């Protein structure tokens, strides 16, 4: 079957700095239709060369792409994806996504938001959020911390470009939407990604990597995407827009707006093991530049229980103002060793069988002694509300 290039082929906008200009030296003035870009103080051009991530040129088209992936109709009268939205493949995707989102809102969305609003007032005032082992889970970062201006997320999932929209076939749409739906099904039903399944669901389709997932979450939570840039960290941990594309970029900077004004997400494909993530290394230096962020850890495979993930664990305990987490995050004993105060919610009983080596008798004893405060939702690996466990920890 021959492929015909449609008029909706997008112009790639991810462009590079003509010199090594740090993002902290840039401002982002809004425009009525064009995607917002970083702009130098002296007015010089910063983006003479493209980095191919196939991001649509205008704000309207960019957010239409996000809503297309999310199974949502366009906001305005113009629809750059009219032909694709008319396909039965996309119509089926929209129906399934609407149902999935409805169930998520009842099961997690509203209960988590209500709980966080009642229990985390001080932490929710944090300007920044650090979410290690997150993958592209902006959704729960936003639910717990909706008022933050900067989110730092990381995982091993890559930052692949969006598809070349003009070459998408009906089969591409069907397989891409199926892969996207399957990867989102886990987190929207159970509150966490299954990393291996997400990799197979997405990497085999035209909707690869974390960017489609971020766009779906931003669209479904009512945000407007302003710009997307490929970024990296220099040796001092300063973020900079990438000047040339040498394969998949190591990070993304997504600017978006909603209630509370303009915000940003930094996502880096980053190994957090001690060998790759050192206290003086670029990633943790950048994390330190956030000041005293609030933290989130959920479904983190108990990696911070291991001695070879000590650097990221110690960073949270040293630099963060507090953390909300399930038992798979920082070991309960580490909070006691650092003199942190921990409030317990739910009812911890045991881990899943595959994580049996990470049982925490001291945490179980704390629940038996003092009990956990009620919680109306399941979260993390222990998805049953009757057996779920959530900790809210702050340094004294």
Q: Can you give the residue ranges of every domain in the chain?
A: 271-281+290-396
What's the angle, vertex CA 172, arms to CA 171 and CA 176, rounded to 5? 120
Q: What are the pLDDT digits (tens) for 110-169?
A: 999 999 999 998 899 899 999 999 999 999 999 999 999 999 999 998 888 888 877 888
Do β-strands 261-269 and 224-233 pair in parallel, antiparallel, or remain unpaired? unpaired
Report the pLDDT value the prediction gives residue 201, as an integer from 0 to 100. 56
Q: What are the pLDDT digits (tens) for 172-212?
A: 888 888 888 888 887 777 656 666 555 655 567 788 889 99
Going residue by residue through the chain (396 aa), what tens digit of pLDDT does each one get? 433 333 333 323 223 222 223 333 333 333 333 444 444 444 444 443 335 577 776 778 889 989 999 999 998 767 878 888 888 889 999 999 999 999 999 999 999 999 999 999 889 989 999 999 999 999 999 999 999 999 999 999 888 888 887 788 888 888 888 888 888 887 777 656 666 555 655 567 788 889 999 999 999 999 999 889 899 999 999 999 886 667 788 999 999 998 778 999 999 999 999 999 999 999 999 999 999 999 999 999 999 999 999 999 999 999 999 999 999 999 999 999 999 999 999 999 888 889 999 999 999 999 999 889 999 998 888 888 888 999 999 999
Q: Phi and psi (nearest 5°) for 79?
A: -140, 100
- The answer to whether residues 96 and 367 touch, using CB atoms and an 8 Å cutoff, is no
What's the angle, vertex CA 181, arms to CA 144 and CA 303, rounded to 5? 50
Q: Phi and psi (nearest 5°) for 46?
A: -105, -15
Its pTM stands at: 0.85
Enumerate the H helices of 234-299 as residue ranges. Answer: 282-288
Do β-strands 239-241 and 224-233 pair in parallel, antiparallel, or remain unpaired? antiparallel
- The answer to whether residues 390 and 324 touch, using CB atoms and an 8 Å cutoff, is yes
Report the pLDDT value the prediction gives residue 17, as an integer from 0 to 100. 24
How many residues make up the chain in this entry?
396
Enumerate the H helices of the chain as residue ranges. Answer: 59-69, 82-85, 88-104, 110-119, 138-144, 170-190, 195-203, 211-220, 282-288, 310-319, 332-337, 361-370
């Amino acid at each position: 079957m021959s492929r015909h290039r449609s008029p909706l082929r997008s112009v790639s906008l991810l462009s590079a700095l003509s010199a090594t200009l740090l993002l902290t030296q840039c401002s982002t003035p809004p425009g009525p239709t064009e995607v917002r870009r970083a702009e130098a103080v002296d007015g010089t051009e910063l983006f003479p060369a493209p980095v191919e991530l196939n991001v649509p040129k205008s704000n309207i088209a960019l957010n239409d792409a996000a809503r297309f992936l999310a199974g949502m109709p366009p906001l305005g009268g113009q629809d750059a994806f009219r032909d694709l939205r008319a396909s039965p493949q996309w119509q089926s995707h929209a129906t399934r996504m609407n149902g999935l989102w409805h169930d998520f809102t009842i099961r997690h969305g509203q209960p988590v938001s209500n709980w966080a609003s009642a229990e985390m007032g001080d932490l929710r005032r944090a300007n920044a959020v650090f979410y290690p082992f997150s993958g592209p889970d902006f959704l729960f970062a936003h639910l717990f911390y909706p008022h933050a201006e900067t989110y730092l997320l990381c995982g091993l999932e890559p930052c692949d470009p969006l598809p070349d929209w003009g070459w998408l076939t009906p089969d591409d749409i069907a397989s891409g939407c199926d892969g996207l739906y399957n990867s989102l099904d886990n987190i929207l039903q159970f509150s966490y990604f299954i990393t291996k399944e997400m990799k197979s669901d997405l990497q085999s389709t035209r909707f690869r990597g974390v960017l489609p997932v971020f766009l779906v979450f931003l669209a479904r939570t009512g945000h407007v995407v302003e710009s997307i840039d490929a970024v990296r960290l220099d040796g001092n941990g300063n973020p900079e827009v990438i000047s040339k594309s040498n394969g998949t970029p190591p990070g993304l900077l997504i600017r978006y707006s909603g209630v509370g004004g303009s915000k940003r997400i930094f996502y880096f494909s980053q190994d957090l093991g001690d060998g790759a993530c050192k206290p003086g290394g670029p990633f943790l230096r950048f994390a330190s530049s956030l000041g005293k962020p609030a933290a989130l850890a959920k479904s983190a495979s108990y990696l911070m229980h291991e001695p070879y993930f000590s650097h990221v664990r110690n960073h949270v305990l040293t630099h963060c103002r507090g953390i909300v987490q399930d038992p798979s995050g920082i070991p309960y004993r580490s909070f006691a060793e650092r003199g942190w105060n921990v409030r317990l919610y739910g009812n911890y009983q045991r881990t899943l069988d595959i994580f049996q080596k990470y049982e925490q008798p001291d945490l179980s004893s704390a629940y038996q002694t003092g009990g956990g405060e009620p919680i109306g939702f399941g979260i993390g690996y222990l998805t049953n509300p009757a057996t779920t466990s959530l900790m809210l920890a702050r340094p004294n």
